[in-house]
A and B are shown apart, each in its own frame.
Chain A
Amino acid sequence: MDLTFSEEQDELRKVVRSFLGKYSGEPDVRRLADDPRGYDLVVWRRMAAELGLQGLAVPEEYGGSGFGYVELGIVFEEAGRALLGGPYFATVALAAEALLRCDDERARADLLPGIAAGSTVATLALTEDGGRWDERGIGLTATGGPDGWRLTGAKTYVPDGHLADLLLVAARTPSGISLLAVDAGAPGMVRTPLATLDQTRKQARVEFTDTPARLLGTEGTAWPVLERTLATASVLLAAEQAGGAAAALDAAVGYARIRVQYGRAIGSFQGIKHKCADMLVEIESARSAAYGGLWALEAGDETEIAVAAALAQTFCSEAFTKVAGDNIQVHGGIGFTWEHPAHLYFKRAKSSEVLLGTPSYHRELLATRLGI
């Protein structure tokens, strides 16, 4: 068991950081926040063609590079640091993972290569108006007939749901929860972008009226698949949150070193210095929470994955929000302005807190999984 990063993994981090530094700088983040699509197609394609980021953890047989979750976690940590907008999380952490987990070899062979190549933007549509991430929150129905499956109902808070080429939809059928795939042009599907507090992460409401869909795997068996997908996504989101928090601290420290008040840099005052130190303690602890999840995913112990994922999501959600808020405080009035990037991180932190379920929800999940 190795709980450190190898030189190759350090190198991957450097490459990704340098790439995102070029293509996801503050001006890019702001431009894409105002753009309803939320991402640059050219950059998306380069992510796939030059770095293979969409297919990093997709097995080689489906056109990916077959790396593990630790590598993927590094990419998400860097994506969080750069506030990368667009459908990377939806496509890679949610949709690709759900496909990999579902019991449907044909679907994997059909759909994963497009994701790995960067030609398919995909997402997972799970939440409904109740805003729940558990099995009971799924009310949308799928009906099987002689000419295939049809969906009727609505999904909301679907990450990048307005632009995905492929939507994986969790639905209720007579035998339980099932997962179905819907293509962008499917009839009877209406997609409405949602106006969101965090403009860097787009969401949509998607309504289905007798919309044709493809059943993935066996009817009624999808909940464990979805649960496992959510566990993986929780860990990857935690890595993203740790990265975002680290960027917020970098900004705070950079400012505290140059901003002079009462004749000296504010970072020399313990009130500021100690706040920054506490931010680093939170970040290193958040990294441990996230890395612990990544190592659990890598080791493949299902009990440990379930526990580590809920832990990571509980801790990293709160840590990112705390640190991003402290960054605004260190910056003072300037940190409270629209022009300063501090609020972009704070809002991302807040949206990440509820993206896969609130910290309270994950705390309760953890309690249940620990038998507390």
Chain B
Amino acid sequence: MELDFGPAVRDFRQELRDWLADHLVGEFAEHRGVGGPTDGAAWEVRLAWDRELSAGNWLGVGWPREYGGRGLGLVEEIVFEYEYARANAPYRATVNALDLLGPMLLKAGTETQRKRFLPPILGVEELWGQGFSEPGAGSDLASVRTRAALDGDQWVVDGQKVWTSFGLHADWLYVLTRTDPDSRRHKGLTMLLVPARQPGVEIRPIRNLAGQDEFAEVFLSGARTGADMVVGEVGEGWRTAMATLGIERGTTLLPQQLGFEREAEALIELARRRGALDDPMLRGRIVDAWISVRIMRTTNLRTIGELTAGRTPGAQATTAKLYASTRHQRLGHLAMELAGPAGQIVGEDYGLDTRQRSFLLSLAETIYGGSSEIQRNIIGEQLLGLPKEPRP
């Protein structure tokens, strides 16, 4: 199935395809498909690739021109993500700032903040880490305890963040803090932009189960940032954070799931080589894996269709994550089973192949961005209108 949005977009698509064909070569081509939302592999190469993309003016396709973007629309952004995934280019090292912080600043930031921060994001000159989760506040962000207080014209921040995506490389952090010490739950939170390279900030890597240190824990002890570094209103950080997380839908899921389709194709190929297609039980599971990725795609196209038509996406936009994460894990188990004992052998320094990496990292998909249990609560309460659990 091809996305087709008419002649103007067809030109854009062709330009992009040509550019990718010319530039996705050499070391970049060798790192096709490398990286992922929880995968820090080949960081330097991917960073260089992002700079290549930046030089081609391909970062921020939908961002306004005044901040260095292309000033195009949602449709072009979708086409970009789709073609990018089709080319299987390396996972972008700057995806965090591009997909979360940038849209947040465009939506809720001040003009000064946009002018200050957006161009260096697109130029890959400043890298960002996300500081939402805490040891006591994972899925339950309303339990955030990191405190910030005004001291003259500066905020002073104390606390600890964890699972900070891209934290190790961050020049700046966007941090959800509690600015009203007497506040409870999601009231009294404030979104702050905090320089990462200062004495009050210590960043330590966390090694994930695939052996990589993509995310980090961040210790803030008297870290300082300017009073003008609040995104949105003081005390309204919850709303700012939620608006940011809401942006993740559809456009970011589509490319990820094109990767899943590629894995399904590889799985079928492997099964064919190993003669597993003659086994009726395996055959049925393989077909089900294929069905899963096809359904993910159609679900996404429904959401994208609604977004581009200016409509509010339907329930499928919310159920898509739970379905995709669960089914992708099942696909991973099947791929490992088909690989047999040889699939258990890793390279030097716990070097993983694509299948092993994807299988292990898929375990995080039912945790990050709101765990499956949280997703079920959201679906039950917000989409189906079921009553909330009483809070003690």
Residues of A participating in the B interface, judged by any CB pair closer than 8 Å: 1-4, 249, 253, 256-257, 264-265, 267-270, 272-274, 276-278, 280-281, 284-285, 287-289, 291-292, 304, 311, 314-315, 360, 363-364, 366-367, 370, 372
Contacts and interface: CB of A to CB of B under 8 A. Distances in A.
Contact of B386 (A1, A253, A281, A364): A253
Given A253-B384, A274-B373, A280-B315, A288 B299 contact: yes
Interface stretch (B23-31, B171-179, B302-310): B302-310
A275 to B, nearest CB: 9
B219 interface: no
B59 to A, nearest CB: 27
A159 to B, nearest CB: 26
A270 B309 CA distance: 35
Contacts of B315: 280, 284
A273 B305 contact: no
A367 B278 CA distance: 11
Given A285-B319, A285-B323, A372-B268, A270 B302 contact: no
B379 A280 contact: yes
Interface string B283-323: 11011101100110011011011100101001110011011
Interface residues of B, number: 48
Contacts of A268: 386-390
B380 A274 contact: yes
A4 B302 contact: yes
A363 B384 contact: no
A364 B305 CA distance: 31
Contacts of A363: 284, 287-288
B48 interface: no
A277 B323 CA distance: 11
B246 interface: no
A367 B287 CA distance: 6
28 contacts: A1-B1, A4-B309, A257-B386, A264-B390, A268-B386, A270-B373, A273-B380, A273-B381, A273-B386, A274-B376, A274-B380, A276-B379, A277-B375, A277-B376, A277-B380, A278-B322, A280-B319, A284-B299, A284-B319, A284-B323, A285-B295, A285-B319, A292-B294, A292-B295, A311-B291, A314-B291, A363-B284, A372-B271
B392 interface: no
B104 to A, nearest CB: 27
A270 B284 contact: no
Contacts of A4: 302, 305-306, 309, 311
Nearest to B375: A277
B341 to A, nearest CB: 24
A101 to B, nearest CB: 24
B295 A289 contact: yes
A276 B298 contact: no
Interface of B: 1-4, 268, 271-272, 277, 283-284, 286-288, 290-291, 294-295, 298-299, 301-302, 304-306, 309, 311, 314-316, 319-320, 322-323, 373, 375-377, 379-381, 383-390
Interface secondary structure of A, over-half rule: helix
Contacts of B319: 280-281, 284-285
A30 to B, nearest CB: 27
Contacts of B379: 276-277, 280-281
B383 A280 contact: yes
A207 B236 CA distance: 74
Contact of A253 (B272, B306, B385): B385
B386 A276 contact: yes
B261 to A, nearest CB: 13
A4 B290 CA distance: 23
Contacts of A314: 287, 291
B291 A366 contact: yes
Contacts of A285: 295, 299, 319, 323
A360 B316 contact: no
Contacts of B316: 284, 287-288
Contacts of A249: 384
Given A267-B380, A280-B319, A366-B291, A256 B386 contact: yes
Contacts of B291: 289, 311, 314-315, 366
Contacts of B320: 284
A264 B309 contact: no
Contacts of A372: 268, 271-272, 277, 283, 286-287, 290
Which 3 pairs of residues, A with B, have the shortest CB-CB distance? A273-B380, A267-B386, A277-B379
Given A264-B390, A285-B299, A3 B385 contact: no
A345 to B, nearest CB: 17
A366 B287 contact: yes
A3 B376 contact: no
A129 B289 CA distance: 33
Nearest to A299: B1
A362 B89 CA distance: 36
Contacts of B287: 314, 363, 366-367, 370, 372
